[in-house]
Amino acid sequence: MYSPLDCLRIAEQNPTRTVVFFAVGFETTAPANAMAVWQAKRRGISNFTVLVSHVLVPPAMTAILASPTNRVQSFLAAGHVCTVMGYQDYEPLSERFRVPIVVTGFEPIDLLEGVYRCVSMLESGRWGVENQYVRAVRREGNSSARRLISEVFEVTDRQWRGIGMIPLSGYQLTPDYAEFDAERRFSVEGLRVAESNLCISGLILQGIRKPHECPAFGTNCTPENPLGATMVSSEGACAAYYHYSRLRQATPVQKRRS
């Protein structure tokens, strides 16, 4: 589905069948998913349900920074998340843990400037939140999107792949919209899938280990057969290491052949 509203249309066109949409992602995708549920309620499309698996960025950052094994010194805050939510919630984090946080876009120059700003703050002993992505992000975020999210979703504890339970780090439907909750509809609340004991994605997510230090990296675990979250996503650290390390390894061979 390109949009959850496509799924809502399918449900409306097939009233005798139950449609389940997998509502996954960070705060970035929450507004569109909330809109689908909001419309389903107002249009009386009762055969539409959502399996909510949204996770929230600030609580995950807090969990990393509060860990006794933390090695993270600064953060590049994801611009797409901040486009929706703003960056006010990052300010107390920066103050509490005394770390620089820079909101960045996704073009190479955005990332380079974000890294430069972080390093500059670290070298001068400063911390705080800076917004590099000024063309898209405001401190307060998108107020309309935030209102819709708060109406349809409420904060709950969430299990993170590779890390475990992080309190108040996810969304679930509010009681007013509980009728669209696929977990309740099909009585699968609390269902968990066992994770691979070969995977160290939790350590990688926390910046404690590097992808190539995992014994399964590139062998048992590849983008085609991922074992953990950092290889599942094309944006994940393991997927990036897998892709670019293969290019780097191929370069000397190509030079010899030429």
Q: What's the pLDDT tens digit per position in 155-195?
A: 999 998 888 899 999 999 999 999 999 999 999 887 777 88
Q: Where in the sequence of the chain do the CATH 3.40.50.11750 domains occur?
A: 57-131
Q: Would you mind telling me the total number of residues written for the chain in this entry?
A: 258
Q: What are phi and psi of 253, to 5 degrees?
A: -65, -45
What separation, in Å, do the N-terminal and C-terminal C-alpha atoms of the chain show?
44
- Provide the pairing of β-strand 19-25 with 128-131: unpaired
Domain 4-56+144-185, CATH number (from 3.40.50.11740, 3.90.25.10, 3.40.50.720, 3.60.15.10) = 3.40.50.11740
Contact 85, 140 (CB under 8 A): no
Q: What is the dihedral of CA 88, 100, 168, 78, to 10 degrees?
A: 80
Contact 198, 227 (CB under 8 A): yes
Alpha-carbon span 31 to 144, nearest angstrom: 9
On the question of pLDDT at 247 being above 60, the answer is no
Predicted local distance difference test score (pLDDT) of residue 191: 76
> Could you tell me the fold of the domain covering 57-131?
Rossmann fold (3.40.50)
Of 72, 127, 125, 53, nearest in space to 94 by CA: 127
Q: Where in the sequence of the chain do the CATH 3.40.50.11740 domains occur?
A: 4-56+144-185
On the question of pLDDT at 151 being above 90, the answer is yes
Our CA angle for 179, 181, 183, nearest 5°, is: 130
What pLDDT band is residue 249 in, cutting at 50, 70 and 90? Answer: low
